[in-house]
Amino acid sequence: MIVSKSPRKHVIVVALDGVPFSFFPALKEMNLSPVLSSLYQRNGIHPMTTTLPPVSSVAWASFLTGLNPGVHGITGFVDRRLDGYSPFVPTAEDLQVSTIYQHLSRIGLRVCSIGVPATFPPAPINGILVSGFLAPNLERSVYPKEEIETLKSFDYKLDIDAWSARRSDDSLIAQLPKTLSARINTASHYLNKENWDLFVFHILETDRLHHFMWRQMMDKESTALDLFSVLYGQIDRFLQTVMEKLSEETALIILSDHGFTELKKDFYLNRWLIERGYLSLSEQNATNLSGIAPGSKLFSMAPGRIYLHLEGKTPNGTILNDQNAESLRKEISESLENVHDPETGSKVIQKVVDMREEWDLTGFDNSPLQLPDLIAIPSPGYELKGELSGSDLFGNDRFSGMHSYGDAFVYLNGEEKDEKLDITDIQERICSFLGVQQMNEESNQT
């Protein structure tokens, strides 16, 4: 084991889902969290880049593995395997590499993780793990199982009932602070229970709040301002108690996984592909990709992931991975970058990224899932959707906020920023605070 120069520390990570770096000036102006504002004022909060696409499960999987999504394998909320078209929700079992929790457990360190996305089903670790976002129910989300009773005694919930919150603001307002409060009480209990080597608490409620209330908050509507103030107040008090616990022996990391911006319109990328003749369906009302017709050239999965209908990578693919594919990549990128919103004239797609340039897959090119060939990055305000049925290219959503690309932040125990930081760098910093060997490629190949 290589021990770093600095003394070995314990590490506490507070993960604030969907809090943008660019939000810190407004956060201060609205006096939402004196703790976060004071860290910002002392130049402790740094901008951080994140995964493409900036989806929570994708980004937190990169936090856990220190690797890009092409390597760890989770590239969106839904995915498909090479042998079929039916979408499924990828879980921690689809991760192609091991996580920092497994790494630290192997070398005997104690880990507690509460609510982090991409940790379901909970793999055994040397400590306690409560899975996060997209876990189906509490009973199946806790390791070891003996902890379920404790979680229930705190009225712990994995998430709010988002469908009910979609139906009414009252439901959102009733649920969000209550869920967060139960989760903070639980996290505080576990934090005080043991001097963990690594303790991670993920707060999803910020992301939920931003999806539902971002525009209303920007427009200074009182309902939204009140809810922001309640929720950030809860987080601030939690951070306050964490700060009070800190000593020379403990390092604190606070980070988010992506930014947020106002959602103006949804754009249905598959419908656009159908309209342009790149994608056809064998059944008119197909709701998922199993209805794709053999002659199709391209298809998409949210948000903005574009796949060539390649022979060998898809059951009925006809595109050969040669010059045809190259010209198709070029053609589709150019056309997409030329899509404009007929109502406003604004560009819908900022840029189309060739994923061969974005992800270094050296030594990791055997994914059991088809990795996207291209990813379209929308202009701020346009959410790229994957739905097939329906005919409108644009639509409106119940949500008023959407993830922005990049614009995450990180606080690294008061360290000055000395380089560009990305979410994949954080596990390395954790290992270095802990004074343990980095996860390397050998130990990472499972």
Distance in Å, CB of 259 to Zn ion, minimum: 11
Distance in Å, CB of 14 to Zn ion, minimum: 18
Q: Position 149: which residue type?
A: E
Distance in Å, CB of 266 to Zn ion, minimum: 14
Cβ proximity to Zn ion: between 159 and 341 the closer is 159
Q: Closest residue (Cβ) to Zn ion?
A: 207
Backbone φ and ψ for 196, nearest 5 degrees, come out as -60, 145
Cβ proximity to Zn ion: between 54 and 70 the closer is 54
Residue from 94, 147, 205, 207 in contact with Zn ion (CB under 5 A) = 207
Cβ proximity to Zn ion: between 10 and 403 the closer is 403
Cβ proximity to Zn ion: between 46 and 211 the closer is 211
Cβ proximity to Zn ion: between 369 and 402 the closer is 402
Residues between 302 and 341 that touch Zn ion (CB under 5 A): none
Cβ proximity to Zn ion: between 207 and 373 the closer is 207
Q: Which stretch binds Zn ion (CB under 5 A): 24-32, 207-215, 268-276, 368-376?
A: 207-215
Cβ proximity to Zn ion: between 63 and 143 the closer is 63
Q: Which stretch binds Zn ion (CB under 5 A): 68-76, 185-193, 204-212, 343-351?
A: 204-212
Distance in Å, CB of 91 to Zn ion, minimum: 18
Q: Which stretch binds Zn ion (CB under 5 A): 201-209, 213-221, 299-307, 339-347?
A: 201-209
Cβ proximity to Zn ion: between 57 and 96 the closer is 57
Q: Give the angle subtended at the CA of 133 by the CAs of 223 and 59, to the nearest 5°.
A: 100
- The label of the residue with tokens 């407004």 reads 26
Any idea what DSSP says for residue 252? E
Residue 358 CA to residue 377 CA, distance in Å, equals 13
DSSP string, 40-61: HHTT-EEEEB--SS--HHHHHH
Distance in Å, CB of 386 to Zn ion, minimum: 15
Cβ proximity to Zn ion: between 207 and 407 the closer is 207
Distance in Å, CB of 210 to Zn ion, minimum: 7
Distance in Å, CB of 22 to Zn ion, minimum: 16
Residue 275 CA to residue 280 CA, distance in Å, equals 9
Cβ proximity to Zn ion: between 205 and 207 the closer is 207
Q: Which stretch binds Zn ion (CB under 5 A): 93-101, 128-136, 205-213, 423-431?
A: 205-213
Q: Which stretch binds Zn ion (CB under 5 A): 120-128, 151-159, 165-173, 199-207?
A: 199-207
Q: Position 167: which residue type?
A: R
CA distances (Å), 294 to each of 281, 289, 311, 318, 370, in order? Answer: 9, 11, 10, 7, 17
Quick one: tokens of 84?
């079929």
User: Where does residue 7 rank: exposed (0-12), middle (13-18), buried (19+ CB within 10 A)?
Assistant: exposed
Q: In what order do the strands lie in the sheet with 298-301?
A: 298-301, 305-308, 374-378, 349-354
Size of the site for Zn ion (CB under 5 A): 1
Distance in Å, CB of 384 to Zn ion, minimum: 14
Distance in Å, CB of 162 to Zn ion, minimum: 10
> Would you count residue 407 as binding Zn ion (CB under 5 A)?
no
Helix (H, G, I), strand (E, B) or coil at 116: strand
Distance in Å, CB of 418 to Zn ion, minimum: 30
Quick one: tokens of 379?
């202009």
Long-range contacts of 174-183 (CB under 8 A, 24+ apart): 176/205, 176/208, 176/209, 176/227, 176/231, 177/227, 177/230, 177/231, 177/234, 179/205, 180/205, 180/231, 180/234, 180/235, 181/234, 182/154, 182/155, 182/156, 182/157, 183/114, 183/115, 183/156, 183/157
Residue 354, number of CB atoms within 10 A of its CB: 12
Contact residues for Zn ion, defined by CB under 5 A: 207
